[in-house]
Chain A
Amino acid sequence: MAQITCKKLAVGYGGQAVLKNLSFSVQRGDCLYILGENGCGKTTLMKTLLRLLPPVGGSVEFSDGLSPNDIGYLPQQTLIQRDFPASVSEIVLSGCQNRCGLRPFYSKAEKALAHDAMAKTDVLSLAGRCYRELSGGQQQRVLLARALCAARKVLVLDEPVSGLDSQAAANLYQLIQELHREEGVTVLVISHDLSAAVQSATHILYLGHSTFFGTRQEFLRSPQWSALKGVRNP
């Protein structure tokens, strides 16, 4: 059943559309990669899907019992966070906030959940450390652990490997794939990493001069893919 459905969606800022006429849907358990060049509107699309921006036209609908409370989000890092005095465990635990409602403090179950998430992303040993003193890769894993705490049904990742070296990036992709396969979480990834996409995606949304949406197999037969391959291996 479709969890997220976009109909004739146009996204952009201040009424100016960057992308127009997007229609696609995401089913439960899908792994959708959103690909495209820099500046083609990937992050704008993501922000619209997450309801951080209002759509310029068309609609985004959540169905199958999906509410924003079920979504985990790994954003690109902001400037504020670079010198934010917070410990790793505080940050990961804040991912449980959408389970709290009006309750002011975290329950034992939520603390256990945060503990598990830190174990999964291998940051348990850093739990008491200060976030701003960690390396870029460690920070990214901390934010991923926070996203895991929040993701009950859908996990949204914006450029998850930006700023990571190739080994750390490979580990992160591995982790994302495990989460997708073993926990059945729907995963949406923004990326310009083609090889990762054709390895692990079930569906691909390609944004560019001509937009493509379909399964991975369909993408491998599409003109967009041949054009990209041509660019990569002339």
Chain B
Amino acid sequence: MSALIQKLEFYFQYPFVQYALIVGVLIALCSSLLGVTLVLKRFSLIGDGLSHVAFGAMAIASVLHLANDLLLVLPITILCAIVLLCAGQNTRICGDSAIAMLSVSTLAMGYLLMNLFASGPNLSGDVCSTLFGSTSILTLTSDEVALCAVLSLLIVILFILFYNKLFAVTFDENFAQATGLHVRRSNLLIAVVIATVIVLAMNLVGSLLVSALIVFPALSAMRLCKSFLSVTICSALLSVFCALTGILISILAGTPVGSTIVATDLGAFCIVYVIARLSGR
């Protein structure tokens, strides 16, 4: 045990480990906040779809040799999120098939572009790290950490300010619209925020695993709690706890960060499921 603690202390001296922990916690917090709304609106897969879009955008950015690929990836992802969330209800191609179409086509296009205009010798390594986020969280610069912190803080503040409106729109969109709320505006805000969260979260777990961060804490919290407020708080705590545990385990055991965090989330969900079953909920 003391050997473990010594090992951790040794790692904590390095700034890249500290950065990873800070960013991990912030991203986990943000993604879990919106997860509850997305799960309840039956939009769980939107995280998956948007992260594939972000992958495609990232491929374009790397082909163009952009210095800061966030400048391209973020707007493209936000645009797709708006198309999916806001136009989704009234179009001929309905929700889940639109997401499926968009996600596979951007994934394929992204890989195709990277292949055609391969920039480095290790193509499959590049692709793999974008998809599974294998090492990127440990190579963050202090600028990236600052950007991530600012965006996360902004998202948390927005969430608190719009919490009541978000509840009204999530619980009953028709009622909200009929009684004069600006539902389209709220959906727009949700779309922008979720796209931002996903682009941020790709650093942590990679684009294939993003939706785990969004969905798992919300699902676990929904098993345990009975009011919207308690579900939100519980899912935030659970998500942060799992992210921290996952990062620590991955440092100690040398496993990939993203998949370890997702495995922790899955473990937490199973434990919660059993607890809920046993207590008869």
Contact = CB atoms under 8 A, between A and B. Distances in A.
Q: Do A and B bind each other?
A: yes
Interface string A36-47: 000000000001
Interface residues of A, number: 38
B225 interface: yes
Contact of A80 (B40, B161, B165, B178): B40
Interface stretch (A65-73, A116-124, A179-187): A65-73
Interface string B136-169: 0000000000000000000000001111110110
Interface string A90-107: 110111011010001110
A41 B178 CA distance: 18
A78 interface: yes
Contacts of B177: 50-52
Contacts of A72: 179
A13 B227 CA distance: 36
Contacts, number: 95
Nearest to B41: A80
B220 to A, nearest CB: 12
B42 A97 contact: no
A81 B178 contact: no
A47 B178 CA distance: 8
Contact of B227 (A80, A87, A150): A87
Contacts of A69: 179-180
A194 interface: no
A97 B164 contact: yes
A161 B91 CA distance: 32
Interface in B58-117: none
Contact of A86 (B42, B171, B181): B171
A52 B178 CA distance: 6
A71 B171 contact: no
Contacts of A85: 222, 225-228, 231
B161 A90 contact: no
Given A51-B178, A73-B175, A94-B167, A87 B41 contact: no
A75 interface: yes
Nearest to B228: A86
A86 B227 contact: yes
Interface of B: 40-42, 160-165, 167-168, 171-172, 174-181, 222, 225-229, 231
13 contacts: A52-B178, A71-B178, A71-B180, A85-B228, A86-B227, A87-B228, A91-B171, A97-B179, A98-B179, A100-B164, A100-B165, A104-B161, A150-B179
